[in-house]
Chains A and B, each alone.
Chain A
Amino acid sequence: MIFSRRRFLGGVAAGAGALVATPAQGASHLHFAGHPGRIGLLHDTTLCVGCRSCEVACKQVNSLPPLVRPADDKSVFDKKRRPSDKSYTVVNRYRAGAGKTPAVYRKHQCMHCNEPCCASVCFVKAFSKTPEGPVLYDPSVCVGCRYCMTACPYNALSYEYDKLWDPRVVRCTMCYPRIKQGKAPACSTVCPMGAITYGRRDELLQVARNRIDRRPNRYVNHIFGEHEFGGTSWLFLSGVPFKELDLHEGASHTPLPELSKSFLSVVPLVLTIWPGLLLGIYAFSKRKEKLSQAELEQTVARVLAEADEQTKKKLAAAAQRAGKDKERAVALAVKKALAEAEATAKEADKEDPK
């Protein structure tokens, strides 16, 4: 048995959502090497002849509808194809007709990334990276948001759009049920050229390096999938630049989930900093409002008091003068004073900043 059956402890428990304590130890400078002894597949594109036996075998194993056109009908290669819900793997032809260089074929399917971004972007955690290597999907929780498909840098995931009640995200499972029985993935067993080798990923890397060393003229000195976006379970050898095979040549070695990590790390900080900050600003503006309110009231009181004083003086004067129209004059004075007070209050209001 190639795999150790180590249990993956960690992550978030389903249902209640309580965090299970993980035995993980972290440090910013360390690298997560992944499950030891996990399996992989090596696709040597210099051997592939585009016979599409792998497509046929994949369809049989996964009970998918058979090929529309016979496998040796080369016209399917006129168009670039991608995996779909009807075929989990496709072989594409590259470089045809470009000068005298012979055609190169590359198989396209889920790469089973070491750090799968389909898993990291799933908001119901429907994906899991098994210790054996394959990335698996659980349709029982999938909502169908298709963020995983949007995120996949290899465009390897497909959706069963024509299903109404139980559409699933589908793709190569690396024949997980077969490998659990100790069998190799179907595509690797049928390849007439032996262009697909199945084995432990670390051993496959060594095999690939040996092939490059033995025939340096045949191969580009690079194993695609060893490091790209943190590495993949599927590894590729090529005699032409990987870019020409529509693979992300020169891609960063950083796993893609790392890119959203920085944003996600800000979230708890915003959740804790914002309330303090906003309440602070709120308190500040409230205080300012209160101060100006107090100031306003003071001014009004002062003006009213002044007006009162004046009225009293006027009243006294009027009383001194005395006369029949005494009462009317008093009323007039009061009115005037009140109007004045109001005007002063308004002025104060204007001075008050927003």
Chain B
Amino acid sequence: MTESPTQSKSLLTPFNLVAGLILAVGAYVAFLRFSSGLAGIGAVGDSAQSQPWGMLISFNLMCGVPLSAGGFVMGTAVYIFGMKQYRLVVRPAVLVGMIGYFFAVVALLMDVGRPWRLPYPMVVQYGVTSVLFLVAWHVALYLSTQFVEFSPAVFEWLNWKRWRKVAVAVAVGAVIFGVILSTLHQSALGALFLITPTKVHPLWYSPFIGLFFFVSAIAAGICMVILESALAHRYFREKVEMTTEHLDQITIGLGKAASIALAVYFAIKVIGIAHGNTWHYLASPIGHWFLLELLGFSLLPCVLFAAGVRERRPRLIRWAAGLTVLGIILNRLNVSIITFNLNLPAEQRFQFHWKEVWLSLAVVMAAVLTYRWAVNRMPVHHKHPLYKTVH
């Protein structure tokens, strides 16, 4: 068992205070939701009827899932492609992925009308014609898969040797299963909108939208790994084994991958416009907004990544990663909220309500705290003393 050094420190750090405030108010809002229904967190009026998916779905689920793609991307790179030099970031990536998915499901539980029925598509009745059916199954299965992938760390922490052995043995199978699931549900999140050609703005709507979501999720996953490794290096120094040089090397390698992923993403987005022949929309204000997203948040970071890789500047790569993450969030919100139902009168379109936004933030904060808790205890960024030599 590892000792947690944070126990000796005071709990009253500024971060903890802010986190506590967010969680406390969040708990109050969650109480409102579970005492007076979804109307309790602002789902009222024509806006909620025409825009049934609010922040909990559009942000926590739609953005949370692609930003948790790091686990499957790094798993593929290391275990399938055999890029052993990234082995050290696999575990943290899987942890981030697992927590990300878990809290996306938590948000979902807050949002659906009868949360206790969430397993229904798995056990009661199968709506096989629905893309959401895929998402439900895949998220559930993938969450389990990620637990298997991450379980060696938990078993090391708990010192359950036999269980660890089993978990390690099934690792490759789990990774392959995870890749299949991820390919499908990352794209399925986009494909959810295939059926709404009258609602999603034509610039964002495309028959390729599933592919767009998948490719951008790869970029998002890589960028989250870049950011997570850097932040962990900074804030959990005593827990991180990696040297600064090694981290920079990994960052540059990941930056290269991210720049390629973004270049592909940019190219298929442009081809998507050509495919739908929606060029003329670009000249409108909403077209400029689209161009801002496409040029400012995917082409620009792509170029920054490339420059950072070429000039060996990990800091630049980290900034580009941040920009990409923002870009993915912007894209998902554009599809599901900002340009959704643009032709409806304002009172029927999405309206931000502080309670829902707060709840959404609180879920994110809970995810961050869970991450901190795990990193402080489990062998995530370092090897467990007992298993130094094996991997």
Contact = CB atoms under 8 A, between A and B. Distances in A.
A12 B133 CA distance: 13
B180 A270 contact: yes
Interface in B22-69: 34-39, 43-44, 46, 48-50, 52-53
Contact of A263 (B37, B84, B121, B210): B210
A122 B194 CA distance: 14
Interface stretch (A42-50, A52-60, A94-102, A278-286): A278-286
Contacts of B120: 124, 141, 143
A267 interface: yes
B53 A267 contact: no
B344 interface: yes
Contact of A274 (B84, B127, B183, B196): B183
A162 B45 CA distance: 10
- Most-contacted residue by chain B among A84, A121, A150, A151 (CB, 10 A): A150
A279 to B, nearest CB: 7
A177 B376 CA distance: 61
B50 A155 contact: yes
Contacts of B85: 354
A288 B82 contact: yes
Contacts of B14: none
A33 interface: no
Given A164-B35, A164-B37, A281-B81, A142 B198 contact: no
B82 A256 contact: no
A285 B197 contact: no
Interface in B64-84: 76, 79-84
Nearest to B197: A259
A122 B43 CA distance: 21
B125 interface: yes
Nearest to B209: A263
A238 interface: no
Interface in A141-177: 141-147, 149-151, 153, 155, 157-167
A165 B36 CA distance: 9
A274 B49 contact: no
Contacts of B90: none
A149 B130 CA distance: 13
B46 A162 contact: no
A279 B117 contact: no
A143 B36 contact: no
Contacts, number: 196
A278 B75 CA distance: 12
B113 interface: yes
Nearest to A12: B126
Contacts of B44: 161-162
B130 A285 contact: no
Given A117-B195, A121-B195, A256-B195, A164 B34 contact: yes
A274 B199 CA distance: 33
B65 to A, nearest CB: 15
Contacts of B52: 146, 149-150, 159
Contacts of A211: none
Interface stretch (B161-169, B184-192, B294-302, B364-372): B184-192
B348 A80 contact: yes
Contacts of B38: 159, 161, 167
Contact of B37 (A84, A149, A167, A289): A167
Nearest to A287: B82
A264 B188 CA distance: 9
A248 interface: yes
Contacts of B136: 123
Contacts of A164: 34-37
**Interface residue range, chain B:** 35 or more
Contact of B345 (A17, A80, A248, A274): A80
A280 to B, nearest CB: 10
Interface string A233-265: 000000000000000100100001101101110
A144 B112 contact: yes
B46 A143 contact: no
Contacts of A82: 46, 49-50, 348
The DSSP consensus for interface residues of chain B is helix
A286 B82 contact: yes
A289 B53 CA distance: 48
Interface string B330-360: 0000000000010011011000000000000
A143 B114 contact: yes
A21 interface: no
A263 B131 contact: yes
B133 to A, nearest CB: 4
Contact of B197 (A147, A167, A256): A256
B125 A141 contact: yes
Given A263-B210, A279-B176, A162 B195 contact: no
B124 interface: yes
B179 interface: yes
A141 B125 CA distance: 8
Contacts of B128: 12, 125
A123 B139 CA distance: 14
A124 B121 CA distance: 5
A14 B128 CA distance: 12
Interface string B199-222: 100000001001000000000000
B132 interface: yes
Contacts of B187: 263
A323 interface: no
A15 B117 contact: no
A15 B124 contact: yes
Interface in A52-101: 79-85
Contacts of A80: 345, 348
A75 to B, nearest CB: 15
B273 interface: no
Across the A-B interface, the 5 shortest Cβ-Cβ residue pairs: A144-B113, A285-B82, A146-B52, A123-B133, A162-B39
Given A79-B345, A147-B192, A262-B194, 7 more contacts: A119-B129, A146-B53, A161-B44, A166-B114, A263-B187, A270-B183, A278-B76
25 contacts: A17-B126, A120-B129, A120-B195, A123-B135, A124-B117, A125-B125, A141-B120, A142-B114, A144-B114, A145-B132, A147-B130, A149-B49, A159-B43, A162-B36, A162-B37, A164-B37, A256-B195, A260-B130, A260-B195, A271-B184, A275-B180, A285-B82, A288-B82, A354-B83, A354-B85
Interface of A: 12, 14-15, 17, 79-85, 117, 119-126, 141-147, 149-151, 153, 155, 157-167, 248, 251, 256-257, 259-260, 262-264, 267, 270-271, 274-275, 278-279, 281-282, 285-286, 288-289, 354
